[in-house]
């Protein structure tokens, strides 16, 4: 696809937005790094400082659970201070046009809801760091309640009801994707006429297939990401600028 000036691409993007009647937004880590949150996979990110603890390890090893919770505690401190940026707020404003099918996110920070996007609209494919759950009975807690217990429980909290380990309500490596959110995300992809990919490298499956399914079902594809993705060749428009500077203009129209 031949590139054009930023202003020309913004004009083309606004035209696509104005024409679309069933919009899906698909967001990844790149939208939240603008709010000061770590990118797990980039150099210097969380996975450079901590090893990956798989779900089977978490279930079977107290030592692995302690390591996992230490990593999550560091991320929690970032989460406490993070605030939605203009890109999050732009997507929340877009909801009020009544043309947004779903806001599908790979992120676990909850910043879309903090920005004003409704829980009914947001699909958190990989769960959320704002809650914790018992892996046995499914009981839920606010993550702040579990953080308060960590120091006295040596980074291995357990459920008072059934005794099983408590884990952040996120999807870990080796853990099955949640069936209903995944189904709803692909359903929305098949229905939409425009999909906005914001801050995702489109490399983590099965989530990365969602824009491809939308495109294959006839939707226009706009990619806003600082680096190249495997699906760039399918995009009608590509922006390498930051999500905040692009979305704020596209949504304002």
Q: Among 9, 71, 43, which Cα is nearest to 227's? A: 43
Catalytic option among 88, 112, 126, 215: 126
Q: Which two tokens stand for residue 137?
A: 């009975």
Q: Among 94, 112, 96, which Cα is nearest to 31's? A: 112
126 is catalytic: yes
Cα distances from 138 to residues 61, 123, 135, 169, 224, in angstroms, run 19, 19, 6, 10, 36
Please report, in angstroms and rounded to a whole number, the separation of the first and last CA atoms in the chain. 23
List residues with catalytic annotation: 126
């Amino acid at each position: 696809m031949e590139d054009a000036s930023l202003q020309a691409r913004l004009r083309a993007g606004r035209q696509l937005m104005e024409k679309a009647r069933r919009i899906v937004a698909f967001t990844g880590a790149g939208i939240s790094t603008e709010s000061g949150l770590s990118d797990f996979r980039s150099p210097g990110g969380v996975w450079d400082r901590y090893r990956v603890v798989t779900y089977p390890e978490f279930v079977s090893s107290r030592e692995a659970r302690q390591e996992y919770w230490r990593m999550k505690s560091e991320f929690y401190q970032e989460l406490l201070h993070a605030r939605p940026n203009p890109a999050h707020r732009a997507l929340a404003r877009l909801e009020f046009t009544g043309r947004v099918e779903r806001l599908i996110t790979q992120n676990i920070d909850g910043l879309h809801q903090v920005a004003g996007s409704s829980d009914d609209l947001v699909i958190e494919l990989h769960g959320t760091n704002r809650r914790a759950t018992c892996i046995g009975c499914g009981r839920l807690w606010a993550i702040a309640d579990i953080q308060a217990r960590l120091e006295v429980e040596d980074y291995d909290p357990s459920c008072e009801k059934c005794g099983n380990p408590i884990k952040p309500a996120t999807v870990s490596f080796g853990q099955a994707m949640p069936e209903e959110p995944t189904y709803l995300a692909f359903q929305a992809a098949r229905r939409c006429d425009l999909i906005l990919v914001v801050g995702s490298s489109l490399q983590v499956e099965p989530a990365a297939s969602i824009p491809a399914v939308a495109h294959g079902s006839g939707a226009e594809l706009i990619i806003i990401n600082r680096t190249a993705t495997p699906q760039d060749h399918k995009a009608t428009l590509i922006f390498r600028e930051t999500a905040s500077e692009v979305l704020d203009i596209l949504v304002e129209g």
